[in-house]
Structure 1
């Protein structure tokens, strides 16, 4: 992971790691995965490596940042849902709930 971080990828929390792999169709994909206690790992997020970066290292680092942004966005969405759930139920226009 140190090589990716040096290229501009975010450092991940303990127990998380990046996996860069081919998707079998000629594209590279970056996955953020979490180690499991017993077997293998769990996929948390992924992003495809896109063209347009000046070199391959930066392109992979950009995909790492995109995958982490997706995790952050899901966390923000969950936080908003928890806040909104305070309003579950009927709301009487006459002032009662």
Structure 2
């Protein structure tokens, strides 16, 4: 199945160089959905989740839900990292006269 087909079914579209990988979760009745980034050799896992097939009407719905969840977690992690970087800029001793040491 192509990314375009997953997106047509409701999965979030990923930026260029990223893709979904659907694989066995090694537990019967579950499927693993990962977001990966292509590298020069192979790929790097960015985010992953597991979907329980029994909770959905069919396996495609489970996979698309897994795509949505993995994408949401990835975005939350990115926002958290950006916030941490902004806060880190405030670290240090602050002089009572208004300057920073």
Q: TM-score, normalised by structure 2?
A: 0.82
- Which residue of structure 1 aligns with residue 55 of structure 2? 52
Q: 2:44 aligns with which of 39, 42, 67?
A: 42
In the comparison of the two structures, how many residue pairs are matched?
96
Q: 2:23 aligns with which of 4, 21, 24?
A: 21
Deviation at 1:77, TM superposition (A): 0.5
- Which residue of structure 1 aligns with residue 76 of structure 2? 73
What is the rounded CA distance, in whole Å, between the counterparts of 1:41 and 1:4 in structure 2? 20
Structure with bigger RCO (C-alpha 8 Å, 6+ apart): 1
Deviation at 1:54, TM superposition (A): 2.3
Deviation at 1:3, TM superposition (A): 2.0
Post-superposition CA distance 1:56-77 (Å, at most 9, x none): 2111101001101111011110
Q: Which consecutive unaligned segments of at least 5 residues does structure 2 have?
A: none
What is the rounded CA distance, in whole Å, between the counterparts of 2:60 and 2:48 in structure 1? 17
Q: TM-score, normalised by structure 1?
A: 0.85
Alignment check: 8 A CA contact 2:51 2:63 kept: yes
What is the rounded CA distance, in whole Å, between the counterparts of 1:95 and 1:12 in structure 2? 44
